[in-house]
Amino acid sequence: MKVTIVIPLKADNAYIRETLARLKEIDYPDYEILVLPDAPYSWGDSAQVIPTGAVGPAAKRDTALEHARGEIVAFLDDDTFPAHDWLKNSTKYFADARVAAIGGPAVTPATDSLLQQASGGVYTSLLGGGNYAYRYLPKQTKEVDDYPTCNLLVRRSVMQQLGGFDTTFWPGEDTKLCLDIVKLGMKIVYAPDVVVYHHRRPLFGGHLKQVRSYALHRGYFVKRFPETSLRPSYFLPTLLVAGLLVGAVIAFLVPGFAPLYAAGIALYLLAVFASAAMVSTALSLSPSPGGKGRRLGLTILVTLGIIATHLVYGIWFVLGLLAPRLSEEQED
Residue 120 covered by a domain: no
Range of the domain at 292: 211-331
Q: What is the four-CA torsion angle of 203, 77, 109, 28, rounded to 10 degrees?
A: 170
For residue 172, what pLDDT is reported?
Answer: 82
Statement to judge: residues 190 and 75 lie in one domain: yes
Instruction: Give the C-alpha separation, 51 to 9, whole Å.
Output: 10
For residue 168, what pLDDT is reported?
Answer: 77
Statement to judge: residues 78 and 220 lie in one domain: no
Q: What are the C-alpha distances in Å from 3 to residues 17, 29, 144, 155, 195?
A: 20, 10, 22, 9, 16
Instruction: Give the C-alpha separation, 180 to 178, whole Å.
Output: 5
Statement to judge: residues 291 and 272 lie in one domain: yes
What is the count of structural domains for the chain? 2
Statement to judge: residues 286 and 321 lie in one domain: yes
pTM for this predicted structure: 0.90
Residue 124 covered by a domain: no
Instruction: Give the C-alpha separation, 313 to 311, whole Å.
Output: 6
Statement to judge: residues 179 and 215 lie in one domain: no
Mapping DSSP to helix (H, G, I), strand (E, B) and coil, where does residue 286 land?
A: coil
Statement to judge: residues 71 and 170 lie in one domain: yes
Any bridge partners for residue 152, and if so which?
75, 103
Asked which of 170, 201, 232 is the last residue of a domain, the reply is 201
Selection from 211, 200, 174, 193 nearest residue 15 by Cα: 200
Statement to judge: residues 160 and 237 lie in one domain: no
Residue 42 covered by a domain: yes
Selection from 13, 22, 28, 171 nearest residue 109 by Cα: 22
Residue 139 covered by a domain: no
Statement to judge: residues 19 and 51 lie in one domain: yes
Whether the Cβ atoms of residue 119 and residue 210 lie closer than 8 Å to each other: no
For residue 291, what pLDDT is reported?
Answer: 59
For residue 292, what pLDDT is reported?
Answer: 67
Residue 81 covered by a domain: yes
What are the backbone dihedrals phi and psi of residue 155, each rounded to the nearest 5 degrees, phi first? -60, 135
Overall size of the chain counted in residues:
332
CATH number, residue 192: 3.90.550.10
Statement to judge: residues 196 and 223 lie in one domain: no
Statement to judge: residues 187 and 221 lie in one domain: no
Residue 327 covered by a domain: yes
Any bridge partners for residue 304, and if so which?
none
Statement to judge: residues 286 and 324 lie in one domain: yes
Write out residues in the chain with pLDDT < 50, as ranges.
284-289, 328-332
Map 166-225 to HEC letters. Answer: CCCCCCCHHHHHHHHHHHCCCEEEECCCCCEEECCCCCCHHHHHHHHHHHHHHHHHHHHC
Residue 137 covered by a domain: no
Residue 138 covered by a domain: no
Statement to judge: residues 225 and 182 lie in one domain: no
CB atoms within 10 A of CB 30: 12
